[in-house]
Amino acid sequence: MATIHDLAGWKREGRKFPMLTAYDFPTAQILDEAGIPVLLVGDSVANNILGYENTLPVTMEEMLHHARAVSRGAKNALLVGDMPFLSYQTSTEEAIRNAGRFLKEGGMHAVKIEGPFLDLAEALVSRGIPVMGHLGLTPQSVHAMGGYRVQARSDEAAERLLADAHSLEKSGIFSLVLEGIPSEVARRVTESVSVPTIGIGAGPHCDGQVLVITDLLGLGGGTYPKFVKPYANLREEITRAVRAFADEVEAGEFPDQQHSYS
């Protein structure tokens, strides 16, 4: 099973690694069997699976529901539960309780928090809860950012992000997601922290790369952001399959003898 120590080792060896989001049992099983070493039960389940407009509405109960399904499917990957909006920003006590629930009830091995919550990261780590940080474009702050905009573009913002990364490292995080920032800023962070960075829309210099599984599989309708590379077009494939089924039913061709009991 992959552990947080493996990730630290990969950083030292200069070995790049993939992370993917997973939200359900069969997908977790497939990704795990394909050798993806880190699975994130992302709060992106909100807009990618549950049909919410953004990640803000998803609750702790909904996250735990998906976490349990993923933990039943994955046997080898390091599993990270994404702390949903307002499950950790209100008080350290509430955050510890919710993070603990991911490990105790959700079968997760670690949690992820967005933003430079330094004392909180330390409080969780000191209680035996490994923490993945997340800086740059942090989707839970979509309204504060005025939309999904690339962050750390100015020198001042880049320096602030670098300082936050160093502070989070001191707080004891085991890895750091960098989302929606210029490649050069991600390179500077990656070269100056000892924990692995995992990029999404942060260019090629990060130690690991993460994509949202529904984006990678081409399940979404419409267009994708620049940083997304769909490696398949499952939306088209699913449409083809269900249309074939519907056509055969309508033509009285399904079920045929081969798919019926005598």
Tell the burial category of 142 from Cβ atoms under 10 Å away from its Cβ (0-12, 13-18, 19+). Answer: middle
Distance of closest approach, residue 207 Cβ to ligand KIV, in angstroms: 14
**Residue entry with tokens 């993939």:** 18
Query: Nearest distance from residue 43's CB to ligand KIV, in Å?
Result: 5
Q: CB-wise, 204 or 255, nearer to ligand KIV? A: 204
- Can residue 196 be called a binding residue for ligand KIV (CB under 6 A)? no
When the beta carbons of 62 and 254 are compared against ligand KIV, the nearer one is 62
Of 182 and 254, which CB lies nearer to ligand KIV in the complex structure? 182
For ligand KIV, which residue of 82, 164, 169, 207 counts as binding (CB under 6 A)?
82
Over the chain, what HEC string results?
A: CCCHHHHHHHHHHCCCEEEEECCCHHHHHHHHHCCCCEEEECCCHHHHCCCCCCCCCCCHHHHHHHHHHHHHHCCCCEEEEECCCCCCCCCHHHHHHHHHHHHHCCCCCEEECCCCCHHHHHHHHHCCCCEEEEEECCHHHHHHHCCCCCCCCCHHHHHHHHHHHHHHHHHCCCEEEEECCCHHHHHHHHHHCCCCEEEECCCCCCCEEEECHHHHCCCCCCCCCCCCCCCCCHHHHHHHHHHHHHHHHHCCCCCCHHHCCC
Query: Least CB distance from residue 240 to ligand KIV, whole Å?
Result: 27
207 part of the interface to ligand KIV, by CB under 6 A = no
Q: Using the minimum distance from each CB to ligand KIV, give the nearer residue, 129 or 210.
A: 210
Token pair recorded at residue 250: 């309508």
Q: Does 177 bind ligand KIV (CB under 6 A)?
A: yes
Taking the complex as a whole, the smallest distance from the CB of residue 242 to ligand KIV amounts, in Å, to: 27
* Residue 140 found at the interface with ligand KIV (CB under 6 A): no
For residue 139, list its beta bridge partners: none
Taking CB atoms, the residue at the shortest distance from ligand KIV is 42
**Candidates 94, 179, 248, 250; catalytic one:** 179
Residues near ligand KIV (CB under 6 A), total: 11
Q: 53 exposed, middle or buried (CB, 10 Å; 0-12, 13-18, 19+)?
A: exposed
Specify whether 179 is catalytic: yes
Q: Which of 69, 70, 168, 210 binds ligand KIV (CB under 6 A)?
A: 210
12-71 positions binding ligand KIV, by CB under 6 A: 21, 40, 42-44
Nearer to ligand KIV, 27 or 44 (CB): 44
- Candidate residues 99, 120, 200, 217; the one interacting with ligand KIV per rule CB under 6 A: 200
Contact residues for ligand KIV, defined by CB under 6 A? 21, 40, 42-44, 82, 177, 179, 200, 210, 212
Residues with a catalytic annotation lie at: 179
